[in-house]
Structure 1
């Protein structure tokens, strides 16, 4: 039992919380890249005098939405990452899923 406390990666609750927090952080990263790239595409589209940037934004937006549903609905290293880990740890403890 002391071994489990010394190495939290062997604790199923800790692993689950870290995996969920990592998935959420991955979605936030995906969303930031989506916004930045699409801002560049909109600028390029406006410079060309056409409105073609809507097509990649819609397609990629659908993928981002599906990613969000998987991470935040179906799946039940930085300060943000640690806060997400703690939030998942607390949520799992309250619901009794870690047992």
Structure 2
């Protein structure tokens, strides 16, 4: 069973999680604005091919990984906490066996 967090630790963790989520939302907004601009240039500006799909896809992969790290694997996520708990229990068993 995990040890209860102090109010200071809860506040620190909440601020860290909120900051990570705000960072992703900022990243997503900039991604959208820049890619809309690139699409407009691609469609109505230079060249006859739609080249804007390449930065859209490349940056989109990075944005997806950023989202996974924040919302799935981030500090306090269910998956991460479960893995930490299992490792803690395994280490405590190994320590108790010696």
Alignment TM-score > 0.5, same fold = yes
CA drift of 1:40 comes to 0.2
State the 4+ residue runs in structure 1 displaced beyond 3 angstroms: none
Give yes or no for the alignment of 1:62 onto 2:61. Answer: yes
Q: What is the aligned length?
A: 68
Partner of 2:89: none
Match of 1:89 in 2: none
Instruction: Tell me the TM-score normalized by structure 2.
Output: 0.66
- Structure 2 runs not aligned, ≥5 long: 1-6, 78-98
Equivalent residue, structure 1, for 2:22 = 25
Which has the greater radius of gyration?
2
TM-score by length of 1: 0.65
| 1:50 paired to 2:46 | no
Name the structure, 1 or 2, with higher relative contact order (CA <8 Å, separation 6+). Answer: 1
Could you tell me how far 1:50 is from its partner in structure 2?
1.8
- Quote how far apart the aligned CAs of 1:44 are: 0.4
Alignment match, 1:73: 72
Give the root-mean-square deviation of aligned CA atoms.
1.5
Superposed CA offset, 1:55-86 (max 9, x none): 0000000000000000000012xxxxxxxxxx
Query: Secondary structure at the residue paired with 1:50?
Result: coil
Structure 1 unaligned segments of length 5 or more: list them: 1-7, 77-99
